């Protein structure tokens, strides 16, 4: 086993539990993306907050089309709000293949375990997708996301009723308005890049396909296109397309989440008593410093 393969296997488990939660902070918050484009239908979707992390836009995309995508990095003074999607382990493994890196490339999104405070008071262990800071796919500066991409985050947050202050935060972030003439030029450039680099990528892709490694084939091909697109733009001096900026983090505790959750949890417990198809096990309050005790809700049919 090569070092590369060993690294990949350590970052991407070969199997997952029967059911997992995926904490989505980007485009997968929007139902049309998750259920439509990615063909993943979650069992439940609930808002939550991940403390000690910051939303960034530093995963490189294709200049002038989708210059960058969402990512998160650790920051003890920040928090990220998003959606906890419950799905089967098989669904989550498939979801990884539709993301940047195709679930096999260590330089793309990798699954990372985190503890997320759900809005209903539970503390849920979930997988979130993170691009490592050592990855060459990370831009040296944040680049402006497209208006299209940011609308997915904003609409997804509004759909799932994420805290209004966080929605305002998303709305305050700048975005890049794509120009149709430039888009056409970039598409033409990509087609030329695919044609002229075909002697390089065709043998590699054929090898991966013939050895039943289709995910590796996708990861290799798209990485080739993205990396060389950025090289061409740098060579042409089109640095203005990148429009670097550093987005301010959403400050930790801005929504008084833990304090507000106590009131919310009380209402949830009252509501649960009126639901005949649920069995609720409310753990007793502990004397620890955390004001939130974990609530487990187990459905009979699960």
Higher model confidence: residue 287 or residue 160? Answer: 160
pLDDT in the model for residue 272: 42
Burial class (CB in 10 A: 0-12, 13-18, 19+), 61: buried
pLDDT in the model for residue 85: 96
Distance CA 62, CA 115 (A): 32
Q: What token pair was written down for 61?
A: 């995309």
Q: What's the mean pLDDT in 131-148?
A: 82
Angle at 92 between CA 53 and CA 24, to 5 degrees: 30
Report, as residue numbers or ranges, the catalytic residues: 99
Beta strands 278-282; 295-299: pairing state: antiparallel
Q: Are 167 and 157 in contact (CB under 8 A)?
A: yes
pLDDT at 154 over 50: yes
Higher model confidence: residue 269 or residue 167? Answer: 167
Beta strands 110-118; 123-130: pairing state: antiparallel
Looking up tokens 């208006």, which residue turns up?
147
Q: What percent of the chain has pLDDT over 90?
A: 36
Q: Are 23 and 115 in contact (CB under 8 A)?
A: no
What are 36-88's pLDDT values in tens digits?
888 899 999 999 999 999 999 888 888 778 888 999 999 999 999 999 999 99
- How many CB atoms lie under 10 A from the CB of residue 184? 10
Q: Are 272 and 278 in contact (CB under 8 A)?
A: yes
What are 159-192's pLDDT values in tens digits?
999 999 999 999 988 888 877 887 788 888 888 8
- Domains plus CATH for the chain? 19-178+236-251 (3.10.490.10)
pLDDT in the model for residue 231: 75
Higher model confidence: residue 28 or residue 14? Answer: 28
Q: What's the mean pLDDT in 281-301?
A: 37
pLDDT in the model for residue 4: 44
Q: Are 220 and 207 in contact (CB under 8 A)?
A: no
- How many CB atoms lie under 10 A from the CB of residue 68? 24
| Residue 68 CB contacts under 8 Å (≥ 6 apart), including other chains | 57, 58, 59, 60, 61, 139, 142, 143, 144, 145
Binding residue positions? 149
Higher model confidence: residue 231 or residue 293? Answer: 231
3-state secondary structure of 291: coil
| Residue 202 CB contacts under 8 Å (≥ 6 apart), including other chains | none
Binding residue positions for substrate? 149
pLDDT in the model for residue 285: 39
């Amino acid at each position: 086993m090569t070092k590369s393969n060993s690294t990949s296997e350590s970052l991407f488990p070969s199997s997952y539990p029967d059911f997992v939660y995926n904490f989505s902070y980007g485009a997968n918050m929007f139902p049309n993306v998750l259920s439509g484009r990615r063909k993943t239908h979650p069992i439940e979707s609930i808002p939550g907050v991940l403390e000690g992390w910051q939303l960034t836009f530093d995963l490189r995309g294709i200049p002038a089309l989708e210059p960058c995508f969402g990512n998160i990095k650790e920051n003890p003074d920040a928090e990220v709000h998003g959606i906890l999607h419950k799905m089967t382990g098989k669904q989550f493994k498939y979801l990884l293949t539709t993301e940047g890196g195709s679930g096999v490339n260590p330089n793309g999104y990798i699954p990372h375990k985190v503890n997320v405070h759900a809005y209903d008071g539970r503390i849920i262990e979930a997988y979130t997708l993170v691009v490592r800071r050592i990855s060459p796919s990370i831009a040296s500066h944040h680049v402006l996301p497209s208006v299209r991409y940011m609308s997915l985050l904003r609409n997804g947050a509004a759909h799932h009723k994420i805290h209004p202050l966080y929605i305002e935060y998303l709305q305050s972030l700048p975005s890049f308005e794509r120009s149709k003439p430039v888009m056409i030029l970039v598409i033409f450039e990509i087609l030329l890049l695919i044609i002229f680099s075909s002697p390089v990528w065709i043998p590699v892709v054929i090898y991966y396909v013939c050895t039943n490694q289709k995910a590796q084939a996708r990861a290799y091909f798209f990485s080739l296109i993205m990396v060389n697109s950025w090289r061409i733009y740098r060579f042409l001096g089109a640095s203005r397309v990148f429009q670097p900026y550093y987005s301010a983090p959403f400050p930790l505790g801005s929504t008084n989440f833990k304090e507000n959750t106590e009131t919310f949890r009380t209402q949830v417990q009252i509501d649960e008593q009126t639901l005949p198809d649920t069995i609720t096990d409310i753990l007793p309050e502990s004397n620890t410093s955390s004001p939130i005790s974990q609530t487990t809700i187990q459905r009979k049919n699960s």
